[in-house]
Chains A and B, each alone.
Chain A
Amino acid sequence: QKEVEQNSGPLSVPEGAIASLNCTYSDRGSQSFFWYRQYSGKSPELIMFIYSNGDKEDGRFTAQLNKASQYVSLLIRDSQPSDSATYLCAVSQGGSEKLVFGKGTKLTVNP
């Protein structure tokens, strides 16, 4: 059974702080790693994807991947109240393969 684990939170940070979200996965064959944001009652919205070990930055977001440790993380710098949502980690074997999701971490950014 391929599993993706996330700390369900809730994670609460003050506005302007760095939020750190973590994810581990069990399938060593995983090739593609995604972070989605989901507001309550809405669909997952892609934030970032990462394929290679190391860091990938996009604006206020940085994804980090360590395949040896089977660990993915997402850092959100200068957190804003609008970042308050559930963040979903999703993993696939790449290409047209299915996504396996974690349960998500609920983030609250306090003004």
Chain B
Amino acid sequence: EPEVTQTPSHQVTQMGQEVILRCVPISNHLYFYWYRQILGQKVEFLVSFYNNEISEKSEIFDDQFSVERPDGSNFTLKIRSTKLEDSAMYFCASNGLAGGTSTDTQYFGPGTRLTVL
């Protein structure tokens, strides 16, 4: 069964450093998302991406964040200068057209745990 994959599973970084989190969405999906979950809190939407453009972003997704689809399979989230409060689980998700039938169910990757020291 197709699945969303994410690397790395755990990233430790120093405050102020740049990190890139990587995702490979399900291959025939067209819409991609990043969410984050701070420990003990709810899953929060960061950004959605379609046709090489950001569709929507939350107020969390400020100028320190960027997303990119550098090739036909990867989808990345970059945090330019990490802060302590960026420590969280980051989940990638995808959905879209599957065999011509539209589906809006979002499937989540296993997540990257980001720890900022």
Residues of B within 8 A of A99 (CB): 33, 35, 43, 45, 93, 106
A56 sits at the interface (CB 8 A): no
What secondary structure prevails in chain B residues at the interface with A? strand
Q: How extensive is the interface on chain B, given as a class?
A: 20 to 34
Residue A78, interface by CB 8 Å: no
What's the nearest-Cβ distance from chain A to residue B68, in Å?
18
Q: Which A residues from 38 to 92 make CB contacts under 8 A with B? A: 42-46, 49, 88, 90, 92
Task: Decide yes or no: A88 and B56 within 8 Å by CB, A95-B104, A96-B96 being known contacts.
Answer: no
Q: In residues 13-68 of chain B, which contact A (Cβ within 8 Å)?
A: 30-31, 33, 35, 41-45, 48, 50, 55-56, 58
A45 and B44 contacting across the interface, CB-CB below 8 Å: no
- The total number of A-B Cβ pairs within 8 Å is 56
Give the CA-CA distance A101 to B111 in the complex, in Å. Answer: 16
- Of B50, B107, B109, most A-chain CB atoms within 10 Å: B107
Closest to A102 in B: B42
Q: Is A110 an interface residue, CB under 8 A from the partner?
A: no
* Chain B contacts for A32, CB-based, 8 A: 104
Complex CA gap A92/B35 in Å reads 14
Whose C-beta in chain B lies nearest to the C-beta of A100?
A: B45
Among residues of A, the one whose C-beta sits closest to the C-beta of B92 is A43
Residues of B within 8 A of A97 (CB): 48, 56, 104
Shortest C-beta distance, A9 to chain B (Å), equals 13
A94–B95 Cα distance when bound, in Å, is: 11
The residue from B42, B45, B55, B89 contacting A96, defined by CB atoms under 8 A apart: B55
The interface of chain B, by Cβ under 8 A from chain A, is 30-31, 33, 35, 41-45, 48, 50, 55-56, 58, 89, 91, 93, 95-96, 102, 104-111
Q: Which residues of A contact B (CB under 8 A)?
A: 32, 34, 36, 42-46, 49, 88, 90, 92, 94-104
List 8 A-B residue pairs with CB atoms under 8 Å apart, sorted by A's residue number.
A34-B106, A90-B43, A95-B102, A96-B95, A97-B48, A97-B104, A98-B33, A99-B43
